[in-house]
Amino acid sequence: MIFFPSASDVRALFLSNIVNFKAYHIRVVLLHRRLHASMLNYIEPILGFNTVRHYAIIAMSTISSLAIIWLPLIPIAIFLISHKYRQCTNPRPKGCRKLGLLGPKTNLHDEYDPKYSQGVPEKHTDPEDKPSWRIKALFAYPIKSCAGVELDTADVVPTGFTYDRQFCFAEYITPKTSTNGSQQAHWTTRTLRDGSLCRMALIRPEIWVPDPTAEDYSPELQEVQSQGVLVIHYPRVTAGILSLPVKLGVMLGLLSKELSFRVPFSPPPENTNPKSTYPLTPIKIWKDTPLAHDYGCHLPPSLHRFLDPDRTRGPLTLFRTNSSHHREIFRNAPRKEDLGFQPVTGFADAYPIHLLNIASVQDIAGKCKMDIPELSIRRFRANIIVQGPGAYEEDHWKRVRIFGPKTESGSEGVEVYTACRTIRCKLPNVDPDTGIRHPVEPDRALKRWRRIDRGDLTNAALGMQVVPAVREFRVCVGDGIEVLETGEHCYIKMLKPGEKVEGV
């Protein structure tokens, strides 16, 4: 909880500074005299006594003047800034509860345990009578390329997890004038693939969903009518004249280390009008240009400064998918004749769900341990993380059944297609905890050991892209995994050889 000082606290701090300032000033003067003497002894033979004395007096007077001006103002500045941010602090969204694991809890607390590197037989159960092949962790990434939200349970809809990749940041690109006029200004997605946007990993969304049991719940609340709220946190970045008091306020616990703002999870139905608050706007993602809601009205200037501190980019905004303009996926996905519907996705790269085997990641981690002592599986941004299979056993899965703890193998469950392998870029080089991009790993290790898909032998493959056989269902941590069909995979590329898409 953030502590904000009262007016009396600040007055006391201010008076204390004034009372102690004289003694402090005396100590500063004595220190300056010692420095003055040292400087004279060193540079007097070079420049001459009178010159040195003249500039030393000017320097010491300047330092003393700055101290006299700034020291009494610092507590006042801290009070004003903390009061400002107290007014801007987002309270809990009304009528809602926070989705996801609370506090430091995580199902990946032992992700580096070597026990996961050894595969176990598929049909076995562990000492707790749980299936050995099971879901270990679930993640949703509400904003593409930003921090994830760990879940115990996830509802699956046609685009994947309900709250996964429904938002993305985009930059407005104004191309240089072309002779044929073929290039036009447009919005294009921005992700961690862009080396200058690694800070996106530090943007931390929270999912707040309507809760009828909440004391302040009402169906008339905007938070409820919008199907929930996304509270978006990002690190506080300061510069200029307020940098010192803000940093001091953070250090003293008077100011939070993060700022935040909130957006509705879904815009009201009336916001389909182009002139509305959330206009439908074309956004380029790979080769597609779906219409999505522009949420730019919610973005605070401080977020722009965080993402683009050097001010080298075009305008930035936040987009929300529109259910009438999802992207149909084909390539390796099963067809409508097989499913009864054509698979779709929101702002995910290509397929609704990404599955990863912890044993496979541990094997890659061992190959780049000298550069990255602990390679977290979170770098790979999967939705479903499984334990039990040996490293890379998932490479040949074609169909899988996910079943709950109360069902027996061979009875109920949900069937999913493992449509193809996940082809890797350099995105996992970014540490999700620091936002720092490693210059070579794990991309180097992946390309050395995992260029195994004959559909793309240039890039590495790790993990599987999943397409559900039904439109809606629920998965939980601990659900069992049963392989129904295996076979060969051949990745179908999204782009033609040598083709490059701006922005990704």
pLDDT tens by residue, 286-295: 999 999 999 9
Buried/exposed 7-28: b ≥16 CB within 10 Å, e otherwise: eeebeebbeebeeeeeeeeeeb
Q: How far, rounded to the nearest angstrom, does the alpha carbon of residue 31 sit from its chain's CA centroid? A: 47
Cβ count within 10 A of residue 104:
6
SS3 at position 91 = coil
Question: Of 86-100, 129-143, 263-277, where does mean pLDDT reach its minimum?
Answer: 263-277
What are the tens digits of pLDDT across the range 388-408? 999 999 999 999 999 986 544
| Rounded (to 5) percent helix, strand, coil in the chain | 30, 25, 45
Higher pLDDT, 51 or 326: 326
d(CA 205, CA 308): 19
**Residue of 195, 111, 103 whose CA lies nearest to 150:** 103
Which of the residue ranges 129-133, 163-167, 262-266 would you say has the lowest mean pLDDT?
A: 129-133
Instruction: Give the CA radius of gyration of the chain.
Output: 28
Dihedral (CA of 80, 82, 85, 90) sign: negative
Decide which of 69 and 108 is more confident.
Answer: 108
Is there a contact between 151 and 139 (Cβ–Cβ < 8 Å)?
A: yes
**Residues 299/303/305/309 CA torsion (nearest 10 deg):** -130
3-state SS assignment for residue 288: strand
CA 484 to each of CA 71, 134, 396, 400, 401: distance values in angstroms, whole numbers, following the listed order: 71, 15, 11, 5, 7
Q: Per the confidence metrics, is the pTM higher than 0.85?
A: no
Is pLDDT at 476 greater than 70 in this prediction?
yes
Whether the per-residue pLDDT at 303 is higher than 50: the answer is: yes
* pLDDT given at position 123: 81
Phi, psi of 50, deg, nearest 5:
-65, -40
Question: Once rounded to an integer, what is the mean pLDDT over residues 251-260?
Answer: 85
- What's the angle, vertex CA 256, arms to CA 252 and CA 260, rounded to 5? 170
